[in-house]
Amino acid sequence: MADFDPVTKAVVPAAGLGTRFLPATKATPKEMLPIVDKPAIQYVVEEAVSAGLLDVLMVTGRNKRSIEDHFDVAYELEDALRAKGDEERLNQVKEPVDLATMHYVRQGEPKGLGHAVLCAKQHVGHEPFACLLGDDIIDPRDPLLKRMIEARATYGGSVIALMEVPREQISLYGAAAIEPTDEDDVVRVTDLVEKPPADEAPSNWAVIGRYVIDPAVFDVLERTPPGRGGEIQLTDALRTLASMGPEEGGPVHGVLFRGRRYDTGNKLEYLQTVVQFAANRDDLAPEFLPWLREFLDKSGQ
């Protein structure tokens, strides 16, 4: 097995405007919208930590200070809870502070995901890194990121997460052209197309929001012109890396993910995610599920 540099850092782009959730996101970052009682962004950081990545860089923007506050010490709140003897809530408040070493950089202009990743160049340096998008939450019971890091250790280059979607939905994603390897859940990526029409997609294996990326991506991104939507697309840079040899930072492999993924990027799927998480909570399900069944019966659904 080749000796590839280990992955120790995670980058979480969180600079988007969250326009799909207006007016709620006018003053509150979309990433801070709760999944029951925990903001979505905390689940993403917890996933990075569970994969062994304790150095997390958050790429933020204007009006995102509450994200930094969430992962920082809240002295007054902690003192008030401590004075009440409320150890349960005190531990909940302290939990995000102790998760990882958090760093922050601002993306000055919304120039796309590729540009957001490029903002991490100084912090990441010449190391491979994981990139986790906040709209996607992967169930903790399905250690996707850990498997991707293992694939990087075997094949080098970059590794992306791929999930099979119905052909009519592939235009919502980046689509991958793939070739098999000796492992059932790992493929070689030969091409990537950002949001293709269904009849032009190379497959119905969609790129979802988890990446393990070779640092060569930074040089590629600096040379990548704006693509779809006038933005610098990470997909375009990965497509270039897929055609490059190992000595240049290529190739690109994909891990075929067949586990549980929750999409919080639009209102309907966000609501579905909240319901699913509540239904899986031991402290909520005994009361929530009977109420939900009764509600559905009464509404005729």
Tell me the percentage of the chain whose pLDDT exceeds 90.
82
Whole-number average pLDDT of the chain: 93
Tell me the percentage of the chain whose pLDDT exceeds 70.
99
Place of tokens 């304790």: 54
pLDDT of residue 230: 78
The closest of 172, 129, 168 to 263, measured between CA atoms, is 172
Mean pLDDT of 127-155: 95
Q: What is the pLDDT of residues 1-36, one digit of tens each?
A: 467 889 999 999 998 888 899 999 998 999 999 999
pLDDT of residue 111: 87
Mean pLDDT of 96-117: 93
279 has a pLDDT exceeding 80: yes
SS3 279: helix
User: Do 206 and 162 form a contact (C-beta atoms < 8 A)?
Assistant: yes
Mean pLDDT of 248-257: 95
Q: How far apart (Å, rounded) are the C-alpha atoms in residues 194 and 197?
A: 10
Q: What is the pLDDT of residues 69-99, one digit of tens each?
A: 999 999 999 999 999 999 999 999 999 999 9
107 has a pLDDT exceeding 60: yes
User: What pLDDT band is residue 301 in, cutting at 50, 70 and 90?
Assistant: low
Give strand pairing partners of 207: 162, 174
The string of DSSP letters for the chain reads ---PPPP-EEEEE-----GGGTTGGGTS-GGGSEETTEEHHHHHHHHHHHTT--EEEEEE-TT-HHHHHHTS--HHHHHHHHHHT-HHHHHHHHGGGGS-EEEEEE-SS---HHHHHHTTHHHHTTS-EEEE-TTEEE-TTS-HHHHHHHHHHHH-SEEEEEEE--GGGGGGSEEEEEEE-SSTTEEEEEEEEES--GGG-S-SEEEEEEEEE-TTHHHHHHHPPP-GGGS--HHHHHHHHHTS-GGGT--EEEEE--S-EEE-SSHHHHHHHHHHHHHT-TTTHHHHHHHHHHHHHHHT-
pLDDT of residue 299: 81
pLDDT of residue 282: 95
Mean pLDDT of 213-227: 92
